Amino acid sequence: MKTRITLIAILLLVLPAFLSGCSYFRKPSPLDVPPEELIEQGMKAMQKKRYQEAIETFQQLRDRHPYSELAILAELKRADALYLRKDYQEAHEAYEEFERMHPNNEAISYVVFQQGMCFYQQRQIRDRDQTAALKAMQTFNRLIQAFPNSSYAAQAAPLVKEARGLLAGHEFIIGEFYFNKKNCRAAQARFEGMLKLYPGTAYDEQAKEYVKRCQEKIAAEPPAKETATEPQSKDKKLPEPRSRIIDKSKK
């Protein structure tokens, strides 16, 4: 009987320690992982090009530790990971959200540059839709105007020139299309619009020459024939002025 009581007493003493020791064998939840460790895990995943893992880790940090100073860094690095994964649309949205939430952050010039890069990476050859090139140019110009002394503004300048060249090339080939179809007025409008909107490109001289040729062809066109109007009959009674009709109604 004494032996049984002794065993029960030993079990009561050992059991709490055993149960607490079980925590060493379970995987820690994100709540248990400090933000410093999560940011390190995310950065290591990015270095190893495991971008999806990095995105999820940075998101965990933001969700579990929203008031940590590292949450802002995690928000930015998540956008970077999306960009490196070539998910340019979602990356742009993440950078745009960062700028909206942290407009005075020291990294804003970089964030605006990356927004432009998201559009720039989606640019197409000149005979395709140039919406991405236009948005890239507009974003880079915004960066240059807001942060003229930034190193990112210097990087953006040649990209603006390239995007302008794509836009000018697109307008140029449309002008050529109209010219070849003998629609000189439409062609001239395209070439002149190109020169006004996107000056200083490799297409300038050719466009000016096309404008001159269009003007010459338009000037050589025969004058438009005037349509004959039927002479008005003298016997036809003209409608009375409105004021006279009103006067009659009063009588």
pLDDT (tens digit, 9 = 90+) per residue, 84-119?
999 999 999 999 999 999 999 999 999 999 999 999
- Output the pLDDT for position 222: 84
* Integer CA distances (angstroms), 76 to 2, 61, 100, 106, 110, in order: 67, 12, 12, 12, 10
Residue 238 CA to residue 144 CA, distance in Å, equals 67
- Output the pLDDT for position 29: 59
Q: Is residue 245's pLDDT more than 50?
A: no
pLDDT in tens, 74-86: 999 999 999 999 9
Residue 2 CA to residue 39 CA, distance in Å, equals 57
Token pair 């619009």 is found at 193
**Reported pTM:** 0.75
- Output the pLDDT for position 238: 47
- Output the pLDDT for position 246: 42
pLDDT tier at 19, thresholds 50, 70, 90: very low
Those residues with Cβ within 8 angstroms of residue 114's Cβ, 6 or more apart along the chain or in another chain: 79, 80, 83, 91, 95
The answer to which of 156-170, 195-209, 223-237 has the lowest mean pLDDT is: 223-237
pLDDT tier at 220, thresholds 50, 70, 90: confident
List helix spans (H) across the chain.
2-21, 35-47, 51-64, 70-84, 88-101, 108-120, 131-146, 151-180, 184-197, 204-220, 242-250
pLDDT tier at 249, thresholds 50, 70, 90: very low
pLDDT in tens, 25-75: 445 555 578 999 999 999 999 999 999 999 999 999 999 999 999 999 999
